Structure 1
């Protein structure tokens, strides 16, 4: 998989300097840093920074916010837990972190629209997408609803849910993006859908009160 290499405002060396400045607070021990030095981080930034920036921009619609999320994602990689990293590729981990952070920002300014009030997962069908004429507006509302419904969810679950319910990915495509089997993706989505229906019910009851 290749990505465009459009230059970002933050130079990789500047990112490394920020890591050095914050190292005492970010890392509890030298062992945590052993697998990712400044040069490795700079290399990852050159390879994946533009793709993460585009990802954040597609969700937030603001260049500066997208840049902030991109920078924060690389810094967060320094302290990513073993459970988040697992056997996933660096890009997969960064993609989850960037999506999580962008949706968190989106959540802060979102109000429940009810577009995803009847979330359900069907392993034999993709989530229905809006027609071309209403796709942009519906996608915005769906993303905002999803941001609210995913509060407290882990980055992997949040990312899978966003890809499926908002962006129209198939479970196979989600699996390829997140380094997961199609079966695992299905289980994640089915469990999330149940929690999301319970949450949306409470949201509707709150609006009616």
Structure 2
């Protein structure tokens, strides 16, 4: 698909995509984000449109899938937060020397692509979307790599935690 065709799709189906995303997500900003993702994906997968169905059916399918992925990802994120983090009202204290050593050991054990994404997420506090754009990968891949990082970090930290006990 060329730029003119994508622009025509955007003008013709953009409002319907936004309505669909709003209806599923019930959040204006999230719906607008998904609308952009829909047309980015349409550009990337332009050759995948076979013409078996109408362009609207194809665009609606992309919209629905992206919305459902976003809902699933947010639900999974909430589960992970509930499982792994205890909300503490204490102020954040600077890391101890032992914690810094543990972190350095963890970062040495993690492949570069996981380390890079973890630093963007935990240190720079970037969103999955921002990281995906920066490292030129999908939002889902960013989430998967953060999950991998957490597993490696837990495994690397466990022996040190046992020694400290």
TM-score per shorter chain, which class?
0.3 to 0.5
Question: Structure 2 length as normaliser, TM-score?
Answer: 0.42
Q: Which has the larger radius of gyration?
A: 2
Question: Structure 1 length as normaliser, TM-score?
Answer: 0.33
